[in-house]
């Protein structure tokens, strides 16, 4: 570098120190950067990506302005790794230095840095354990939820609740949080879905504030995650959640999880997580029996402040068996039908209002249940199964969903095809033939890909395992 360039660089450094402040300049520039002036740009050498990223994010505009001011013309500023500077600073040192600078330059920030006293969580969750209708189908899960909510330390961790959609898993999870807030108001909890956990983790990686993410999730006395099967196939998120779980469990705090499937039936989930999940208490919620269905309908009518005769409850409970949401939806339709006609709710009116609904409803198994179980097993989403993608895993999951739908529902080939993303009926026929051919040649295993690598099994035990989750 000639004398003129040296003088220019010195002038840039001098002006930059005045612009950003002497203290920040000493920390971030004096021993951590090397400026080089080329014909059309100024190169800022940095020891590593972290320092380069920090300077670029926080000081790029100041550097550009100073360079243009000193050289009397606009110049492009670029950053590059300079081996001569490598190792001069470490990330941990710079983090602490940056905090010190923030405290010195902003007294109010210093006050905010003081660790606040932990306050109870303020999440607004509407569902309560007291409103949960208990029956033989869900009694064990309900009692386990009450125990978690009332006792600071219990003997199983995590509590893992699984069952088909619309059976009350979310109700129990939110009920635990609300009961804990009432009985142990100084305790801290966090309730999120598996998708929210994943999204927050990804955003923290992008923004470089992973420490804040970890503090936010690991400081809680109770961490509740709904739809934890969403973590399937997301290797980095699974690893982060495993560390989060271990951190909470190591200090005798509680984790509660819910999923549409048993941990061992969630495909593309790491063995470490599966082993962690089954080491606690795994309980299943089944479809409500007749008495429970009637009780749910009675309670729902009270909450709507509507008088509904008992025969109407019995009629709905006899004909709608799939899940709680469908039960409540049917009752709501009857009440709305009566309100629009300005007539009282009667059994004949209920039959008229639900005639079309009941005619189309499958009293035992619905295609949505089948595709949910199959997708979860293979670590996919229902959107994957509906898509036109033809990877080995998606193709196998799609074929099994179509085959089981023909076997366990009254839907025709065209109906199944329309439900599963607008597929042609011939696609459904071919999928069913494909699975039947697998069954005829059961000595040859079927294979698919998972994050852990290639997996394979024989088709008969695979179908039996899926049917067990679907029908029980």
pLDDT value at residue 26:
81
* Main-chain dihedrals φ then ψ at residue 57, nearest 5 degrees: -70, -35
Cα 442–chain centre separation: 36
Q: Is the per-residue pLDDT at 178 higher than 80?
A: yes
SS3 300: helix
With CA atoms as reference, report the closest residue to 190 among 141, 254, 126.
Answer: 254
With CA atoms as reference, report the closest residue to 51 among 75, 65, 33.
Answer: 33
Instruction: Note the pLDDT tens digit of each residue in 313-357.
Output: 999 988 887 778 888 888 988 888 888 888 888 998 888 888 876
Structure tokens belonging to residue 471 = 């029908």
Mean pLDDT over residues 30-53, rounded?
77
pLDDT value at residue 452:
61
Worst-scoring range by mean pLDDT, 17-26, 125-134, 212-221?
17-26
Cα 365–chain centre separation: 26
How many Å apart are CA 436 and CA 396, to the nearest integer?
13
Neighbours of 130 (CB within 10 A): 9
User: How far, in Å, are 97, 193, 287 from residue 176 at the CA level?
Assistant: 42, 15, 21
Tell which CATH architecture fits domain 129-284.
3-Layer(aba) Sandwich (3.40)
- Most confident region among 172-186, 408-422, 436-450, 456-470 by mean pLDDT: 172-186
Cα atoms found within 13 Å of the Cα of residue 177, Cβ hemisphere only: 26
Residue 345 DSSP code:
-
How many Å apart are CA 192 and CA 255, to the nearest integer?
12
pLDDT value at residue 224:
94
Structure tokens belonging to residue 388 = 């036109």
The β-bridge relationship of strands 281-284 and 189-193 is: unpaired
User: Residue 174: which residues within 8 A CB-CB, separation 6 or more?
Assistant: 125, 126, 127, 128, 191
With CA atoms as reference, report the closest residue to 392 among 456, 469, 442, 437.
Answer: 456
How many Å apart are CA 472 and CA 467, to the nearest integer?
8
* Average pLDDT value over all residues in the chain: 81
How many Å apart are CA 47 and CA 82, to the nearest integer?
6
Percent of the chain with pLDDT over 90: 19
How many Å apart are CA 111 and CA 99, to the nearest integer?
12
Worst-scoring range by mean pLDDT, 16-20, 82-86, 164-168, 295-299?
82-86
Indicate the class that CATH gives domain 290-360.
Answer: mainly alpha
Q: Is the per-residue pLDDT at 358 higher than 90?
A: no
pTM of the model: 0.60
Is residue 158 reached through a cis peptide bond, with omega within 30 degrees of 0 on the bond before it?
Answer: yes
Q: Is the per-residue pLDDT at 22 higher than 50?
A: yes
Q: Is the per-residue pLDDT at 310 higher than 60?
A: yes
Domain layout of the chain by residue ranges = 3-113, 129-284, 290-360, 367-471
SS3 221: coil
User: Residue 31: which residues within 8 A CB-CB, separation 6 or more?
Assistant: 88, 89
Q: Is the per-residue pLDDT at 442 higher than 80?
A: no
Mean pLDDT over residues 389-399, rounded?
88
Instruction: Note the pLDDT tens digit of each residue in 85-125.
Output: 654 454 444 444 445 445 544 444 444 444 443 444 456 78
When pLDDT is cut at 50, 70 and 90, the band that residue 79 belongs to is confident
Tell which CATH architecture fits domain 3-113.
2-Layer Sandwich (3.30)
Residues 371-408 as b/e (b if ≥16 CB within 10 A, e otherwise) read bbbbbbbbbbbbebbbeeeeeebbebbbbbbbbbbbeb
Q: Is the per-residue pLDDT at 377 higher than 80?
A: yes
Q: What is 367-471's CATH number, 1.10.1750.10, 2.40.50.100, 1.10.10.10, 3.10.130.10?
A: 1.10.1750.10
With CA atoms as reference, report the closest residue to 297 among 275, 325, 336.
Answer: 325
pLDDT value at residue 241:
93
Q: Is the per-residue pLDDT at 257 higher than 90?
A: yes
When pLDDT is cut at 50, 70 and 90, the band that residue 144 belongs to is very high
3-state DSSP helix/strand/coil % of the chain, to nearest 5: 60, 10, 30
């Amino acid at each position: 570098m000639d004398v003129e360039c040296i003088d220019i660089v010195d002038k840039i450094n001098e002006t930059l120190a005045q612009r950003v402040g002497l203290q920040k300049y000493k920390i971030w520039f004096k021993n951590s950067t090397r400026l080089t002036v080329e014909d059309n740009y100024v190169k800022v050498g940095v020891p590593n990506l972290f320092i380069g990223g920090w300077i670029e994010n926080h000081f790029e505009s100041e550097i550009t302005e100073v360079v243009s001011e000193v050289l009397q013309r606009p110049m492009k500023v670029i950053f590059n790794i300079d081996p001569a500077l490598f190792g001069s600073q470490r990330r941990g040192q710079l983090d602490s230095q940056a905090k010190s600078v923030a405290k010195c330059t902003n007294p109010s920030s210093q006050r905010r840095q003081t660790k606040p006293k932990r306050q109870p969580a303020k999440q607004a969750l509407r569902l309560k354990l007291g409103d949960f209708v208990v029956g033989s189908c869900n009694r064990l899960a309900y009692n386990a939820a009450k125990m978690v909510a009332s006792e600071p330390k219990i003997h199983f961790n995590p509590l893992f609740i699984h069952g088909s959609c619309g059976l009350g898993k979310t109700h129990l999870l939110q009920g635990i949080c609300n009961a804990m807030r009432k009985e142990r108001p100084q305790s801290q909890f966090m309730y999120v879905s598996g998708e929210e956990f994943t999204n927050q983790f990804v955003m923290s990686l992008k923004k470089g504030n992973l420490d804040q993410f970890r503090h936010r999730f690991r400081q809680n006395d109770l961490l509740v995650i709904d739809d934890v099967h969403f973590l399937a196939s997301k290797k980095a998120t699974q690893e982060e959640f495993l560390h989060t779980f271990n951190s909470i469990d190591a200090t005798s705090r509680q984790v509660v999880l819910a999923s549409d499937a048993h941990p061992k039936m969630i495909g593309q989930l790491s063995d470490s997580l599966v082993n962690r999940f089954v080491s606690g208490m795994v309980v299943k919620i089944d479809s409500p029996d007749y008495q429970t269905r009637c009780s749910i309908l009675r309670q729902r009518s009270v909450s709507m402040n509507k008088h509904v005769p008992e025969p109407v409850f019995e009629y709905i409970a006899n004909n709608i068996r799939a899940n709680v949401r469908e039960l409540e939806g049917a009752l709501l339709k009857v009440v709305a039908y009566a309100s629009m006609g300005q007539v009282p709710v009667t059994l004949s009116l209920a039959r008229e209002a639900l005639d079309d609904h009941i005619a189309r409803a499958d009293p035992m198994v619905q295609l949505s249940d089948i595709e949910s179980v199959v997708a979860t097993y293979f670590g996919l989403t229902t959107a994957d199964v509906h898509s036109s993608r033809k990877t080995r895993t998606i193709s196998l999951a799609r074929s099994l969903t179509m085959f089981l739908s023909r076997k366990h529902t009254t839907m025709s080939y065209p109906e199944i095809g329309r439900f599963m993303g607008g597929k042609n009926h011939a696609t459904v026929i071919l999928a069913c033939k494909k699975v039947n051919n697998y069954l005829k040649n059961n000595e040859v295993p079927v294979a698919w890909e998972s994050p852990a690598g290639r997996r394979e099994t024989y088709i008969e035990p695979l179908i039996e395992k899926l049917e067990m989750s679907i029908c029980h």
